[in-house]
Chains A and B, each alone.
Chain A
Amino acid sequence: MSKVVENAEILSNRSLSSEVSELILKSPEVAGQAEPGQFVMVKNEAGNTFLRRPFGVADVDGDKLTLIYRLAGKGTKELAELKAGSFLSVEGPLGHGFKLPVDSQAHICDEKGCGMRTVDAGLSLVIGGGVGIAPIIYTARKLAEAGKKPVVLLGTRNASEGFWTEYFKDFAEEIFVTTDDGSAGMKGFAIDAIPEIMKKHDIKHILVCGPTIMMEGIAKKAINDGIDCQVSLEKRMACGIGVCLGCTFEGKKSKKRWKICGDGPVFAAEEVFD
């Protein structure tokens, strides 16, 4: 894999709600290499902000790259004004994404004798919270393509964020939604839905991207229950390629200093929370 900077044409830029928009870019070099959980750094050369903005890869379809962003500040507001046909500078793909729990082949000796057998990876639960749902889409797609449709859990604020569910309909074994106000799905936070999901499904892996407080709760529960869990982190960064050191942290287990941009953004839960 090689990181590139690509001048990507905007194919569409539409709002999904008053706060969230979807951008589809023609970005063959980045799209051709991107893996679930990786991210890109985007620069609007016509805009008035200095630094690039990090966005998780929401989906890839051939040479098309989908990014979903929340209108949070000046940079994303300028981004929302861009029309199809204009261009954005896309740097990526960056970082290391989710290790997808897919079936593998192994040489095994059992009652049937010795030979190559398929080792079932078991069922995954992919969880997204807020705009952290975006990278979960591509993750669910890739799992489904590998024959391992995951259970999907979406933590949202209210029914106005119902648009997220649409993205998962072909890639999910079952979709669960929580809303803070109970206006759709189950009332509460994502973590509140996990006992019900666990009762219904034999979950072996959890892959989660969302606000830190949400990931912390879920990661601690997973660690406690002995379930393999990967978390995708976010922190202010200037470069995205391991140079500025804006996004480093000390691993809880390894005591190593990690760069979220280069070593992550996805880490084993035990390395981030204890």
Chain B
Amino acid sequence: MGKSIPMNMDRLKTDFAGIKMPTPVMGASGTFGFGVEYDDFIDLKQVGAIISKGITPLPRAGNPGVRIAETPAGMLNCIGLENPGIEKFLSDVLPKVKEKAPDTTFIVNFSAGSVEEFGMMAKKLDVDGVDAIEVNISCPNVKAEGLAFGTDPEVAAEVTREVKASTSKPVIVKLSPNVTDIVKIAKAVEEAGADALALINTLTGMVIDTRTWKPLLGNITGGMSGPALKPIAVRMVWQVAKAVKIPILGLGGISTAEDAVEFLLAGATAVAIGAENFVHPDAVVQVAAGIDKYLESRGLNHVSELIGKVEA
């Protein structure tokens, strides 16, 4: 187990849509494994919440070819949702997570190929050990010629209603930034009953190898993450926060406590660290400790005093 870092938990403890967390800083889906991979580097008790790698109805091998490309201040990935599938997740992965990190809030991210499948997944995840679920609606809808569920407000709402009707857990819907108007989608999802929103997912990007004239990534395009994303994510959180009443999990390019504070000021109730975990495996805990120091330096008693306080 990694060393714990001193921080004032009274200032940091957070209630996010009914999900109780020691800090407002989570490990983002796809960058934090199942949390336990970070056990050597951090004290998992100081993690706000682990958000799992995305789980799908069936096991997925992911995409062939190159899956990672570095970009200025960030990276692209086209992993292709490689995961063991829901059955193996429930029988093998979940017990291991609960054994190694019994006290850490555990949120399961999942996606599916149809509205009905989303409901089925939510039902299967309505078990002990899962504190909340995060719905990835950025994946393609098999029935709508692969168009992502998250790009159409009606479809996004339909998925949300189906998931809400199938679970007793708090439901976080993770929004895609690859849309014309994210506020419209956010409002539709809120109206459909979502308990919280997470934004943003990765931005679609592409890198071309100028030696071979071919795309660098095996899947041609990939999801962009890292510091380069941050101003876009902050802007979207700010826009959505003004339009909805449910809490927002802000993420996209957070590396430091100052980055996290920006998201909180823009209107997020909690934040998640993504690609930065790859570079600094203690980032989730360091950012929480940094927020604590920031609060102290500002004479604030609790992190919630920052939420939505941007003077804009």
Contacts and interface: CB of A to CB of B under 8 A. Distances in A.
B278 A51 contact: yes
Contacts of A246: 67-68, 77, 79
B70 A239 contact: no
A51 B37 contact: no
Interface string B278-292: 111110000000000
B40 A2 contact: yes
B82 A248 contact: yes
A246 to B, nearest CB: 4
Interface string A234-274: 00111101111111101000000100000000000000000
B5 to A, nearest CB: 13
A244 B79 contact: yes
Contact of A243 (B226, B227, B278, B280): B278
B141 interface: no
A159 interface: no
A163 interface: no
Contact of A4 (B40, B82, B226): B40
Given A2-B40, A236-B66, A237-B68, A51 B280 contact: no
A238 B62 contact: no
B40 A3 contact: yes
B61 interface: yes
A161 interface: no
A26 interface: no
B32 A50 contact: no
A238 B40 contact: no
Interface residues of A, number: 24
Contacts of B279: 43, 50-52
Given A3-B41, A49-B70, A238 B275 contact: yes
Nearest to A91: B281
B89 to A, nearest CB: 14
B129 interface: no
B312 interface: no
Contact of B82 (A236, A238, A241, A245): A245
B299 to A, nearest CB: 31
Tell me whether chain A's interface is mostly helix, strand or loop, or mixed.
loop
Interface string B57-72: 0000110001111111
A207 B53 CA distance: 34
Contacts of A102: none
Contact of A50 (B30, B66, B227): B227
A71 interface: no
Among the interface residues B67, B71, B73, B79, which one has the most CB atoms of the partner chain A within 10 A? B67
B19 interface: no
A257 B88 CA distance: 13
B61 A250 contact: yes
B113 interface: no
B31 interface: yes
B114 interface: no
Nearest to A237: B68
B166 to A, nearest CB: 28
Contacts of A243: 31-33, 37-38, 277-278
B74 to A, nearest CB: 6
Given A243-B31, A244-B77, A244-B79, A50 B70 contact: yes
Q: Please classify how large the interface on chain B is, using the bins under 10, 10 to 19, 20 to 34, 35 or more.
A: 20 to 34
B145 to A, nearest CB: 27
Contacts of B275: 50, 238
Which of A52, A241, A242 has the most chain B CB within a 10 Å cutoff?
A241
A144 interface: no
Contact of A239 (B40, B61, B73, B278): B278
A238 B37 contact: no
A241 B281 contact: yes
Contact of B278 (A3, A244, A248): A244
B278 A245 contact: no
A81 to B, nearest CB: 19
Interface string A33-54: 0000000000100000111100
A238 B61 contact: no
B75 interface: yes
Contacts of A247: 67
Contacts of A242: 33, 37
A31 to B, nearest CB: 17
A188 to B, nearest CB: 26
A143 B306 CA distance: 59
Contacts of A50: 70-75, 226-227, 275, 279
A239 B40 CA distance: 14
Interface in A1-19: 2-5
Contacts of B71: 50
A238 B32 contact: no
Contact of A5 (B41, B61, B277, B278): B41
Interface of B: 30-33, 37-38, 40-41, 53, 61-62, 66-75, 77, 79, 82, 226-227, 275, 277-282
Given A243-B32, A245-B53, 9 more contacts: A2-B40, A5-B41, A5-B282, A49-B70, A236-B67, A238-B275, A241-B33, A242-B33, A246-B68
Interface of A: 2-5, 43, 49-52, 91, 236-239, 241-248, 250, 257
5 contacts: A5-B282, A51-B75, A245-B53, A246-B79, A257-B82
